[in-house]
Structure 1
């Protein structure tokens, strides 16, 4: 099963890539629709759409899934239920493809809910308390988006159809827009629904490479991308999305700069890039958003595969303070990780540069507030800061683990996905730029053109020049950053604490209070127990006591 599945996915990937090229060359889309049932003159259709954007996205998902499954064959080699893991990953991939291919509002919910259920099963895969709590948090927050999506489906009934490709205005259009926006924000972990994304790191690393690159977290963005012609009619949609996306960028970048868990740093970098994509949508640039969605999936999956390889060889430790000097021990893994981090920072001519630079220059051209402008630049600098901070501690620090710990990455299940993903982390930006975008010219002053590389350069040298900055004695400030502006405790402990306090009070006052005293002091209870214990050898007394205890409650109930 786990050997045959990557081959099947590779064949599907080639088919979807060929189809996307045909759609691009002939410049058309294929829309298939047939009627399932007609309820009170409201037909329910089963619809499928094969367009350029959907097929490119499916090709990207299948390509990453192919590499992740090869990687998981070695990473999960000691797992007893590898077949079950492979089936859950396939269910996850199928749900994401259904979300892309089905433009019908009601049938789209199959893929949407399938993502939620399969992600929950994958997060709790290791079956411990931390995995269960992370899975429940992910499931409950995503359920908020599910509820709002169902409400938008019910309100769309006035239109007489649920085809998301041809929605028109009605009396409920503003409410539908708000509901779809909240659904997309919950699935893509925007503020205030961000706390589930780092918690989902309890899943196995191959799942993280899939979830945090091209599937679960991008489902909300792709939903808003599909609905963008309808949502962009309302100016308030762009304003709300711009506020929350820039705050998400800032919060995730600041939080990642204080973390020491390797997977959490990469997860928070994903959250920062999701904020960048949402910001692109808010600034009337959906094509740039989709462009960055594809390139980000490539280099972020590579980053997770490299991190998973390091974790595998250092006895599953994720603390970057205890891992160092890897560039001499694992040169290929470190080279691939460096490529992925440089692409994440937006270094020229790598995949991330082509899409990220377009979005940032678009933010300069748009008439945005000065506060948003500063937040965008600061978040861009922090992206380079936490990327190079992680690389410095992993590669360019003195060796901290024991010298007799000897390992090297010679396994082809690790090497082959890394080389393949590294190639596309370098070239996918240029390829997508030629395929997706028309000739784009942005005329900016030289000072603004040089501002982005200058900010990236300052952010990259900051970990080397002033590593003492985050050793501040202000623990409250550091805790606020590491807890994602208190979103983690607010979404976890504070919701549980009141109900736990009430249950403890009820238990102490009822179960251990008047109920226990009343039963202990009741005369016939003492009499019956004394009769039992004094004549425990007499079977007749036991039977009489049992009959008495059974009949008396029946009389009372009657």
Structure 2
């Protein structure tokens, strides 16, 4: 009966119902700026209570609504993208578990309870990355799982160090001698989950998962879990003097590295993954500049237009026989007008074009960083990263939407209702969400007075990057970047500043060599000779030699059985 029940057709409707139910408490919490905390005492260990804690605050409810709405649209899109898959029901259940794990992470402020959602995200993401069950997917899944396990271990260490406080509620932390270790462990956990340097290589590798999974992973679930964890812990972690400078340095490095890598990439999904990495760096940089509410604002708007970008890219990939190469696509403005229009809107929001959702969040971060006293060098690097974002986004659009068509002329390009309806919903939210949140949500951002030149600087950089991409596209048939001309620069850019070999082959070579020698010298030699297999072989040889040497007489068999019986009785005594 379960085989015939189509879970994939009902999952999207179920999430829409949950979204509509969740809207009422969200509006109430945001409008009155109230936080509800529910606690149940489960049991106590030597006077230390183990509490089940549930927090309903404006930030958590808003982000949960965003996650559920994006998941509903992605599952609707997956009914077309994964329609030929035999195990689509299993895929849908895994995606629902993914959404459940993220909501557990949002609503549980208790460190041990939060670990359920944190580990759930890691386990389900590994299963989804290896979904296609080929060597490439397995390699990508292992890099994803092993890198995220570093964050899991550091979070477990933070739980152990928090034991001295007598509770694990992240809202009630106080200053102790172990604070340095706690803050460092939670920072490393957040950096691994959000793929900050030097843990960035797993994020493009996770593109081996199906495109609907990528739309969830890179928009509102797995990669934003680290950012949301830092937002929850920010009041406690900002007490360390080194926390903000460290976060700012790693975030700006990640943003620059991802921007440079995206300018030379030709894989469609990998470009979008690198743009996710760049925007995650922007969120972390905002927290490094003590603008935690603006980081949350950008996280919500980014989730909406990045999910739209992946849905549009997935429709192009589905129509081109699941090819992800940009150079094989082109002239889709006439053949797939709805998807092309939504792709352009998503890219404009990503660049921070005026009055799109990304404009309200990203420009506010840049303007606030110019308004307050911050490091000038880091500011210049952030502004340069904005120009890079515009460059690779416009290059992406020019190549796919208006470039020459290089694919097979017999391609069947279609825009099914299950493809266009999620696009239109996410596109409308990508336009209105920025202004809506800026007007309604309590972001605690005071009025800023900045010079007109500083106000126009982000817009000038966006236009400059777009013009450079246009000029290079018009002058080169191959749509090449300047970084492609030098082999060293090209390899460094495509390998994310050599993070990919350094974090995979380089680190795994020595342990693999040692484990292989251990397997040959110990497990397959001495342990087999001295263990059960060796003893069994030895006893067989001894018994066979005894039977061959003895004459086949009944007395001999009786003698041997009596001797064995006596030996057994002595052993039992």
Tell me if both proteins adopt one fold, taking TM over 0.5 as the criterion. Answer: yes
In 2, Cα distance between equivalents of 1:197 and 1:454: 30
Determine the structure 1 residue equivalent to 2:458. Answer: 452
Q: Give how far 1:367 is off.
A: 2.4
- Contact in 2 for aligned 1:329/1:407 (Cα 8 Å): yes
Moved more, 5-14 or 214-223: 5-14
Determine the structure 1 residue equivalent to 2:431. Answer: 426
In 1, Cα distance between equivalents of 2:309 and 2:273: 10
Against the structure 1 CA distance between its residues 260 and 544, is the aligned structure 2 distance closer, same or farther, given a 3 Å change threshold? Answer: closer
* 1:486 lines up with 2:483 in the alignment: no
Determine the structure 2 residue equivalent to 1:417. Answer: 422
**Residue among 12, 19, 24 paired with 1:18:** 24
- Contact in 2 for aligned 1:245/1:278 (Cα 8 Å): yes
Q: Give how far 1:450 is off.
A: 1.5
Determine the structure 2 residue equivalent to 1:364. Answer: 370
| Structure 1 vs Structure 2 CA RMSD | 2.4
Q: Any residues of structure 2 matched to 1:14-413 within 5 Å, and which?
A: 14-409=20-415, 411-413=416-418
Aligned residues: 524
For the residue of structure 1 that corresponds to 2:287, the secondary structure is helix
- Contact in 2 for aligned 1:16/1:56 (Cα 8 Å): no
Q: Give how far 1:548 is off.
A: 4.7
Against the structure 1 CA distance between its residues 94 and 415, is the aligned structure 2 distance closer, same or farther, given a 3 Å change threshold? Answer: same
In 1, Cα distance between equivalents of 2:49 and 2:152: 23
For the residue of structure 2 that corresponds to 1:227, the secondary structure is helix
Against the structure 1 CA distance between its residues 142 and 505, is the aligned structure 2 distance closer, same or farther, given a 3 Å change threshold? Answer: closer
Against the structure 1 CA distance between its residues 108 and 382, is the aligned structure 2 distance closer, same or farther, given a 3 Å change threshold? Answer: same
Q: Give how far 1:461 is off.
A: 1.3
Q: Give how far 1:54 is off.
A: 0.7
Q: Which TM-score applies when normalising by structure 1?
A: 0.90
Q: Which TM-score applies when normalising by structure 2?
A: 0.88
Against the structure 1 CA distance between its residues 77 and 368, is the aligned structure 2 distance closer, same or farther, given a 3 Å change threshold? Answer: same
- Contact in 2 for aligned 1:283/1:366 (Cα 8 Å): no
- Contact in 1 for aligned 2:8/2:79 (Cα 8 Å): yes
Q: Give how far 1:440 is off.
A: 4.2
* 1:498 lines up with 2:530 in the alignment: no
In 1, Cα distance between equivalents of 2:295 and 2:219: 14
Cα deviation, 1:213-258, whole Å, max 9, x if unaligned, reads: 0000000000000001101111210010010000000001111111
Q: Give how far 1:502 is off.
A: 5.3
In 2, Cα distance between equivalents of 1:453 and 1:46: 47
Unaligned runs of 5+ in 2: 1-6, 474-479, 527-539, 550-573
Determine the structure 1 residue equivalent to 2:488. Answer: 476
Against the structure 1 CA distance between its residues 503 and 31, is the aligned structure 2 distance closer, same or farther, given a 3 Å change threshold? Answer: closer
For the residue of structure 1 that corresponds to 2:53, the secondary structure is strand
Unaligned runs of 5+ in 1: 516-542, 553-558
